[in-house]
Amino acid sequence: MPNIAASKKDFMALQAGIVGLPNVGKSTLFNAVSNSAKAQASNYRFCTIEPNTGLVDVPDERLDKLAGFVKPERIVPTQVAIVDIAGLVRGASKGEGLGNKFLANIREVDAIIHVIRCFEDENILRDEGPINPVGDKEIIDTELQLKDLESVEKKFSRVEKMLKTGDPKIKAEYETLKRCKDHLEQGKSIRELSLSKEERTAIADLFLLTEKSVLYVANVDEASMHTGNKFSEALKAAVAGENAQVIVMNNSIEAQISEMEDPADRELFMEEYKMTEPALSKLIRSVYKLLDLATYFTAGVQEVRAWTIHEGWKAPQAASVIHTDFEKGFIKAEVIAYKDFIQYGSEAAARDAGKLRIEGKDYVVKDGDVMHFRFNV
């Protein structure tokens, strides 16, 4: 399809924040995933003070397959933003350590990558005693819950005073806040509470920390990178009720792979460790899904490009990530399903086979669609 990337507007990359206790491997993970920024990784508390942010390419074999047919001048993957946030300590909700800054930084991200230490090493400092991934998880959960409870209670008190107005909207907001307050007081996170769209709207202004989706990274030793160990298994058991994913990986190995510029060296290194791909690739794809994102493609001789959208976006919204004019002047979208493009090998062949569809403003873009937009401004 024709190149339509000129004059594009950048999609505001959603952010996933890397969090955890000090010295669990957060900055090492950030260094591994980010090609555009490097965080200092050192063995002392609060090494990371200002959050580092890196735009990370999302691995997608579909992009390479499309390029194999189109033979473009360049290939442009889509990206997500990964933020390395300072380590949290017990009491952060009351300002201990860099607590206030840490919590403010978490509030600004869209999802959380929670790194948990699942290996023993007496040379790496640890304030919390013996290795205990479940206990470490609970420390951070508790601090975030306490901070959320503080936010909910403040608004709850304000809304409670307004009940006398008899406004049904105030009553509904009060009931939602009460549900959240009771839930947090039980030591549970808001993401575990079933809330309707209206209820979520009632608390949206609070930007609650425990409402954010979480992906757990069990940072294990080399011997456990394929099989896991008793620590990572304990973590999986602890989060089983959260409908959350746990990725087992060795952050140091991943950092070494990411530093290798020669693909052949990288391939040999992974073969030595019996890896078919870096665990980071799985992590980044998981983060992409965690943020409720989807991808569509444009494919032309100048470039084959992946574009990031929210799942459920309609065609005009999807067009806006290329340029706002595409949404304003949207007429129609030419759409070929990814599998059809690959099957027939080109836009022309797919068109001849009747696989190119013309869709209007109400079309919900599917993950993997190959698209071209007609617009007039």
Residues that constitute the known binding site for ATP: 23-28
- In DSSP terms, 219 is beta-bridged to 117, 249
- In DSSP terms, 232 is beta-bridged to none
Q: How far, CA to CA in Å, does 104 sit from each of 22, 100, 109, 192? A: 17, 6, 9, 22
In the structure encoding, which two tokens stand for residue 350, read together? 């797919």
How many CA atoms lie within 13 Å of 128's alpha carbon, on the beta-carbon side?
Answer: 23
Q: Estimate to the nearest angstrom the gap between the alpha carbon of 356 and the chain centroid.
A: 32
How many CA atoms lie within 13 Å of 274's alpha carbon, on the beta-carbon side?
Answer: 6
Report the alpha-carbon distance of residue 285 to residue 278 in Å, rounded. 12
Report the alpha-carbon distance of residue 42 to residue 40 in Å, rounded. 6
In the structure encoding, which two tokens stand for residue 24, read together? 């669990």
Question: Which H or E run contains 358?
Answer: strand 356-359
The closest alpha carbon to 334, from 302, 280, 281, 298, belongs to 298
Is 326 within 8 Å of 375 (Cβ atoms)? yes
Report the alpha-carbon distance of residue 223 to residue 240 in Å, rounded. 24
Binding-site residue ranges: 23-28
What is the strand order of the sheet 293-299 is part of?
Answer: 74-76, 303-310, 293-299, 370-375, 330-336, 356-359
The closest alpha carbon to 284, from 55, 47, 22, belongs to 55
In the structure encoding, which two tokens stand for residue 301, read together? 């001789």
In the structure encoding, which two tokens stand for residue 366, read together? 């599917």
